[in-house]
Structure formats: structure tokens, C-alpha cells
Amino acid sequence: MKILVYLKQVPHQDARLDVSGDGTWIKEENIKFEINSYDSYALEEALKIKDQDATSEVIVVSAGPERVVQALRQALGMGADRAIHVRDDSVDATDALGLAKTLANVAKAEKPDVIFMGFMSDDGNFAAIAPMVAELFGVPHATAVIALTRNGDTFIAERELEGGNLEVVELKAPCLIAVQTGINQVRYASLKGIMQAKKKPVDPKSAGDLGVAGQLAAKVAIEKIYVPAKSATAEILQGSADEIAEKLVAKIKELGLL
Amino acid sequence: MGNILVITELQRGKIREASYELLSFAKKIAAAKGHSVCSVVLGKDVAAEAEAFAKRSGGPVYTVANPVLENYNVDAYCTAIQAAVDKAKPELILVSHTPSGWDFAPRIAARLDAGFVSDCFNIDATGDLVFVRRVFGGKMDARVAVKSTPVVATFQPGATEACQDSAAGSVEALDVAIDAGALRTKFVEVKAPQAKGVDLTKAEIIVSGGRALGGADKFKEVIEPLAEALGGVVGASRPVVDAGWLPHERQVGSTGQVVSPKLYIAAGISGAIQHVVGMKGAQFIVAINKDPDAPIFEVASLGVVGDLFEIVPALTKAIKAAKG
Ligand SMILES: Cc1cc2nc3c(=O)[nH]c(=O)nc-3n(C[C@H](O)[C@H](O)[C@H](O)COP(=O)(O)OP(=O)(O)OC[C@H]3O[C@@H](n4cnc5c(N)ncnc54)[C@H](O)[C@@H]3O)c2cc1C
Ligand SMILES: Cc1cc2nc3c(=O)[nH]c(=O)nc-3n(C[C@H](O)[C@H](O)[C@H](O)COP(=O)(O)OP(=O)(O)OC[C@H]3O[C@@H](n4cnc5c(N)ncnc54)[C@H](O)[C@@H]3O)c2cc1C
């Protein structure tokens, strides 16, 4: 199987976030980045297929500035075969539709049998790109997939619904699967993998190469991001750990629970 | 001027509360921008619910009735919604951010070459229409402005009051052919959750830990002793379960259990909306988090800004001492 995995590099989940000078995104200087949590699970699903069928090819694709090469190298270290780096300022500044058009054109050029993506990004939280890419590439999709089995080119996907219910759907390749976190246990890159990754190709592509130059004007624009004023806030206990513990004990007694 | 199309959602044959909330947002935008509101109801049997919706929405309510729409199916839904879009030619399409909504809404946006914004909880219609939504898992909010229409927007269920207006609307059935054989994603079944070993919904005291714990061993060392001292049970946020530190039966939230204990202690949990919907019904909430801006403090009754690895053991010790 030919498998495409889209992955985004996002600020590390423990990074301290500060709003950028123009107020529309965060300051990228001096923070660590990592592979979007959902996308590590997407890559693992792809690598599981490759484990069963060594003739499979896993291609990882990421759009973003120079720093995303780090994420692509990590994915190659975990076992992906080659990488495509979409590097263009106009792609980085567009909205979900513009990004989806760009990424769908990678799929049109590569013609994969299956695409794995994350359900959502840890930073933008749009949960937009997967169904959009599926539509533009012309294949069926399933989102929030928490279990997946494959029989030849048929996939049985369990979609997570509210309250613990699962919706079981069947799709045939070519198709796109957007995974939920927890669908598998993600492997680590081995030392050997990391060494081998250095020789694997990372192919750069511009908006022009992908035929989307001039088509990326945002239809919806992020005007501003900010730390919201809290609608309500808890009374914050002060003091040393032991003093705080005493105050909590008093409260728990008052509630009649001690 | 333009039209706003509200896509309603049936759940067990009834229009969800979230659809009436969409209607509230639609009417607010319509009033500010001089738009008209129309809606669509899709499902197997839709007539009665469409009538009920029309009595609150006013405007035309389109219906698409077809047996293949009984269960959610992305291809069938997109075909049905496309028919309503052809009819209404909307500038704005509003959808609830639910497991079906988030599945088809971006797909429809791509089909219509429309802008897309998701999981909004508010709007600002005073200038360019702006949608307000959370980013970075709730650590920040973003204002997203419409630059060119059409735009598809999804809204968080519970973000506003359901529309209670009474109005005179009309229902119009659309004749849409859906070829069941051509559906590429096939519905197989809905599986109900399996019986749990522990039932968090019955617990009086829950001590939950989040991603900050860092490992299963830390749950044993830090969270379990507190739960034990209090005679409560251990709960967790989703990343804890994803990482395999605790089984899924311990997960609190929209895709775990919805709990309402007398006391809920959240240690090292940021307070993402999907966690909060599972525990905000607790009578008393204590949050322990080192980040004073963490959204969990918004729902907590008492907060401690500090390191859980210091606070929790101190609390465990104090409770043991108090019990004598
Ligand atoms: C400087 C800057 C300016 C921006 N301006 C705007 C704007 O004006 N309007 C606007 O709406 N948004 C804007 N964005 C946000 C941006 O376009 C979003 O990335 C986009 O809307 C997709 O949302 P998401 O990242 O939340 O992805 P989601 O849809 O949540 O991601 C789902 C999946 O898509 C894949 N994916 C997502 N991004 C990538 C990527 N870069 N490479 C490979 N795979 C990917 C991953 O598999 C991911 O798990 C801006 C972002 C930046 C950094
Ligand atoms: C469709 C969907 C369904 C979901 N369902 C659920 C669900 O059912 N339940 C659920 O919980 N989540 C759910 N999520 C995930 C949710 O969005 C969040 O990602 C998750 O709740 C975050 O878990 P967390 O708070 O443990 O981790 P984080 O958000 O990473 O927060 C960790 C917190 O710990 C604090 N911290 C770090 N170190 C310390 C320390 N030493 N002492 C004190 N504090 C510290 C940090 O300041 C931070 O606030 C769902 C998401 C989606 C998209």
C-alpha cells in the first residue's frame, strides 16, 4: 500500500505561550515544538501497515517553516520512507481551505491508497483539514477514529461519539482516516532508525510546485488571539503546602466528607 | 440581504437542543446584518420535528426525508445538505460541533469552496462578522473574521441558550435522490459502551489526575493515596488513558464518563472543554494546577496554584492526620 501521512509541527504542550507582536498568533522564538499529538498516532497506524506488508511505502508530509524538517526527520526515524516539506510563506498564512487545497494537491500527485491524518491540531484546534482534503482529493473519510482494522483494501473504522458510543463504518481504499488520540501505542524512533533517517529524502515543495500559487487568500482571517478574561474564578488558597492542606481539610470537613 | 442556513441534527428522532442554540446564533447574526434564516432537517421521518422547528425559527424549514438518513452517513448527508444549499444559496451555514457535524461540515465547506471556522462559542456582529473560538486547548481565544462568503461555521453545543421564540415558519420538502449503493462510507452499527469495572458516576469523591502526572507510577504514588485517604475513587483526563496509564473506565469527559460527585479534585488537569463537560456537575471542585491561567480555575470552587507533587502528598498527610 502507498500511504500518505500528514503531520503538523505544533508548540510543545508544556511551552509557555505569548501572543506575537501583531496579536494574531504566538511568538515562535524560544519555544520548543513537537509533532501534533494526534499525528503521532496517525503515523503509527501507517507504520503498523508497513510492519505487516514491507512493500508498503509511507510518505510523510508537513507544511510549515524550516523548523518542521525536524518533525519530518523524527517521522523518518520512526520508519517513514520519505518526506515532503511544503515550504511557502503563503501556505503558512492561509486558512483551513487554503491549506487543504495545498495538501490535497500533494495527494493528487502521489495517488496514495490510504491517507492517515490527525483528527485535530493541538494548536489551531480546527479539526478541519481531514474532511477537506478527502473532499478535494475525492475519497471517502472517517473522523475521530479510535479503532481500525484492515482486510485487504477494506477498512473498518470505529468513530468515537459522545458518551462512550462508537459508530462503526466501512470504507474502501483509496480513503482517508483521521485518528483520535489513544488509537494505538506510538513507537519511539530507534537509534538505527535515526541514523537511517539521515539518508532518507526530504523533498521541498512550494505553492507554485503544487499549483496553488495565487489561490491562497484567506476567506476567514484570524484577527486576534488573547488569553480570555475568566468568566468566574476559584478562590485561590495561599500559603505553604502544609497550610494549604490544612485549609483544604477544613473545607472537606465542612462539606461533611471527613 | 443574504441567507443563513441552519443545519439541524436529529438524535433518536428529535431535533437536538444544540440545533435550537444554532438558531439563537443565526437570529442574532440575521438581526445585525439584515439576513434571513432558513433551516434544514434531514432524517428518515422529519415532518413533525420540522414543524416544531419552524414554530421557533420562522422562515422556511426545508426537509430531506430518506431512509438512508436514519443513521449518520457522510456521503448521504452531504448530498442532502447540498440540495438545501442550492435552494437557500446561503452566505452562512451553521452546524453543531458534534461527531456528525465535525465530520461533514469541513467536507461541505471544501465542496462549496467556502471559508471554514469550527467549534465557535460566540459571535460578534458589530463590524465584519467575527466568530470567537478557543485555540491551544482552551489556553487562548481567537477572533476569526469573515473576509469572503460563503462561510461554514460549527458551534460548540451548550455555548448559548436555545431559541424559545414563537414564530410562523413554513416547511418545504425537498425531493432529493440519494443512491444508497453509491455511498462510499458505509454505516455498520453503533456500539454502546461496555459495562465498567468501576462506576465513576456513583462515586461521592473523585480524585482525578491529568497529563502532568507523567506516568502510571506517579498515579500510584501521588493520586491513589489521596483517593484512598478520602475514601474516594481515582479518575483521569484523556491523555492519561491514551498513554495507557489507566483504563478507559477512569476517563472523565465528553468521551468518558459524566460525573457528579460531592467532591472532585483535579490535579494537573488544564480544564479543556471536553474534560469540563464531564465534571462541572460536581458539587465542589478543587483544582490544583501550577498555571494560574489554566481554564480549570474557571469551574473550580477552590483553587491551588502550585506543584501537585508538593500539594497532593501534603493533603494526603493532613487528611490521614485529621482522621486520626
Ligand atoms: C501565521 C499564521 C497565520 C494564520 N492565519 C490564518 C487565517 O488568516 N485564517 C485562518 O482561518 N487560519 C489561519 N491560520 C491557521 C491555519 O491556517 C490553520 O493551521 C488551519 O486553519 C488548519 O487548522 P489546524 O491547524 O487547527 O488543523 P486541523 O484541521 O485541526 O488539523 C487536522 C490535521 O490536519 C493535518 N495538518 C494540519 N496542518 C498541517 C500542516 N501544516 N502540515 C501537514 N498536515 C497538517 C494534521 O494531520 C492534523 O492533525 C494561521 C496560522 C498561522 C501560523
Ligand atoms: C473529540 C474529543 C473528545 C475528547 N474527550 C475528552 C474526555 O472525555 N476527557 C478528557 O479529559 N479530555 C478529552 N479530550 C481531550 C481534551 O481536549 C484535552 O486534550 C485533555 O482534557 C487535556 O488533558 P490534561 O488536562 O490532563 O492535559 P493538559 O491540557 O496538557 O494539561 C496539563 C495541565 O497540568 C498542569 N501542570 C503541569 N505540571 C504540573 C504540576 N507539577 N503541578 C500542577 N499542575 C501541573 C499544566 O499547567 C496544565 O494545565 C477530548 C478531545 C477531543 C477533540
Which range is least confidently modeled, A203-217, B67-81, B89-103, B189-203?
A: B189-203
Cell matching residue A111: 495517488
Tell me, yes or no, whether B218 and B293 share the same domain.
Answer: yes
Measured between beta carbons, the chain B residues lying within 8 angstroms of A164 are 192-193, 255-257
Q: Is residue B150 part of a domain?
A: yes
Ligand 2: distance of its center to the CA of B236 in Å?
Answer: 9
Mean predicted confidence (pLDDT) in B206-222: 97
Supply the CATH number for residue B305's domain.
3.40.50.1220
Tell me, yes or no, whether B311 and B269 share the same domain.
Answer: yes
Q: Please give the pLDDT value at position A144.
A: 98
**Which one of A124, A242, A252 has the shortest CB-CB distance to B135?**
A124
Q: Please give the pLDDT value at position B244.
A: 94
The residue range of the domain holding B70 is: 3-182
Q: Please give the pLDDT value at position A230.
A: 82
The residue length of chain A stands at: 258
The secondary structure element, H or E, covering residue A101 is: helix A96-110
Q: Please give the pLDDT value at position B193.
A: 87
Percent of chain B having pLDDT more than 70? Answer: 100
User: Model-level pTM?
Assistant: 0.96
Which ligand has an atom closest to residue A71 CA?
1
Residue A41 in contact with ligand 1 by CB distance below 6 A: no
User: A249 and chain B: CB distance < 8 Å anywhere?
Assistant: yes
Residue B289 in contact with ligand 2 by CB distance below 6 A: yes
Tell me, yes or no, whether B122 and B246 share the same domain.
Answer: no
Q: Are A116 and A100 in contact (CB under 8 A)?
A: no
Question: Strand, helix or coil at B151?
Answer: strand
Whose cell is 473498518? That residue is: A156
- Please compute Rg for chain B using Cα positions: 23
**Is the pLDDT reported for residue B195 higher than 90?**
no
Ligand 1 pocket test: pick from A26, A85, A116, A126 the residue with the most ligand atoms within 8 Å of its Cβ. A126
Cell matching residue B149: 462568503
Percent of chain A having pLDDT more than 70? Answer: 100
Rounded CA-CA distance B176/B87 in Å is 12
Residue A94 in contact with ligand 1 by CB distance below 6 A: yes
Tell me, yes or no, whether B42 and B102 share the same domain.
Answer: yes
**Is the pLDDT reported for residue B55 higher than 90?**
yes
Binned at pLDDT 50, 70 and 90, residue B178 comes out as: very high
Q: Please give the pLDDT value at position A86.
A: 98
Tell me, yes or no, whether B177 and B217 share the same domain.
Answer: no
Q: Is residue B56 part of a domain?
A: yes
Smallest CA separation from ligand 1 atom 13, residue: A95
CATH of domain A2-205: 3.40.50.620
Residue A237 in contact with ligand 1 by CB distance below 6 A: no
Question: What is this model's ipTM?
Answer: 0.95
Q: How far is A252 from chain B (nearest CA, A)?
A: 8
Measured between beta carbons, the chain B residues lying within 8 angstroms of A239 are none
Q: Is A233 left (phi over 0), alpha (psi -120 to 50) or beta?
A: beta
Interface contact A123-B297, CB threshold 8 A: no
- How many angstroms separate the Cα of A69 from the Cα of each of A73, A98, A119, A189, B138? 6, 21, 22, 15, 28
Tell me, yes or no, whether B167 and B211 share the same domain.
Answer: no
Smallest CA separation from ligand 1 atom 41, residue: A63
Tell me, yes or no, whether B108 and B256 share the same domain.
Answer: no
Smallest CA separation from ligand 2 atom 31, residue: B270
Tell me, yes or no, whether B13 and B134 share the same domain.
Answer: yes
Q: Please give the pLDDT value at position A116.
A: 99
Interface contact A241-B239, CB threshold 8 A: no
Q: How many CB pairs under 8 A join A and B?
A: 266
Tell me, yes or no, whether B172 and B207 share the same domain.
Answer: no
Residue A222 in contact with ligand 1 by CB distance below 6 A: yes
Q: What is the pLDDT of residues B264-319, one digit of tens each?
A: 999 999 999 999 999 999 999 999 999 998 999 999 999 999 999 999 999 999 99
Q: Please give the pLDDT value at position B194.
A: 83
Q: What is the pLDDT of residues A169-190, one digit of tens each?
A: 999 999 999 999 999 999 998 8
Q: Is residue B143 part of a domain?
A: yes
Residue A7 in contact with ligand 1 by CB distance below 6 A: yes
If one compares B258 and A230, the residue with the highest pLDDT of the two is B258
Q: Is residue B192 part of a domain?
A: no
Q: What is the pLDDT of residues A59-103, one digit of tens each?
A: 999 999 999 999 999 999 999 999 999 999 999 999 999 999 999
Pairing of strands B10-11, B14-15: antiparallel
Per the structure, the count of domains in chain B is: 2
**Is the pLDDT reported for residue A135 higher than 80?**
yes
Q: Please give the pLDDT value at position B113.
A: 98
Interface contact A236-B116, CB threshold 8 A: no
Q: Please give the pLDDT value at position A192.
A: 92
Tell me, yes or no, whether B35 and B159 share the same domain.
Answer: yes
Supply the CATH number for residue B115's domain.
3.40.50.620
Q: Is residue B187 part of a domain?
A: no
Q: Please give the pLDDT value at position A177.
A: 98
Q: Is residue B188 part of a domain?
A: no
Q: Please give the pLDDT value at position B34.
A: 96
Interface contact B310-A241, CB threshold 8 A: yes
**Which one of B102, B263, B299 has the shortest CB-CB distance to A257?**
B263
Q: Please give the pLDDT value at position B267.
A: 98
Q: Is residue B194 part of a domain?
A: no
Binned at pLDDT 50, 70 and 90, residue B52 comes out as: very high
Q: Which residues pair with B124 in a beta bridge?
A: B130
**Is the pLDDT reported for residue B177 higher than 90?**
yes
Give one DSSP letter per residue of B33-68, joined into a string. Answer: HT-EEEEEEEESS-HHHHHHHHHHH-EEEEEEE-GG
Q: Please give the pLDDT value at position B73.
A: 97
Q: Please give the pLDDT value at position B287.
A: 98
Residue B276 in contact with ligand 2 by CB distance below 6 A: no
Picking from B182, B214, B242, the residue at the C-terminal end of a domain is B182
**Is the pLDDT reported for residue B197 higher than 90?**
no
Tell me, yes or no, whether B209 and B174 share the same domain.
Answer: no
Ligand 1: distance of its center to the CA of A126 in Å?
Answer: 7
With vertex at residue B284, the alpha carbon angle to CA B280 and CA B290, rounded to the nearest 5 degrees, is: 80
Interface contact B99-A161, CB threshold 8 A: yes
Backbone angles phi, psi at A148, to 5 degrees: -145, 130
Q: Report the candidate in B109, B6, B78, B89 with the shortest Cα–Cα distance to residue A95.
A: B109
Q: Report the candidate in A100, A140, A109, A122 with the shortest Cα–Cα distance to residue A203.
A: A109
Q: How far is B76 from chain A (nearest CA, A)?
A: 12
Tell me, yes or no, whether B296 and B174 share the same domain.
Answer: no
Residue B212 in contact with ligand 2 by CB distance below 6 A: yes
Q: Is residue B173 part of a domain?
A: yes
User: A236 and chain B: CB distance < 8 Å anywhere?
Assistant: yes
Interface contact A219-B147, CB threshold 8 A: yes
Q: Please give the pLDDT value at position B324.
A: 82
Q: How far is A203 from chain B (nearest CA, A)?
A: 27
Which ligand has an atom closest to residue B303 CA?
2
Binned at pLDDT 50, 70 and 90, residue A245 comes out as: very high
Residue A26 in contact with ligand 1 by CB distance below 6 A: no
Work out the mean pLDDT of chain B and round it to a whole number: 96
**Is the pLDDT reported for residue B95 higher than 80?**
yes
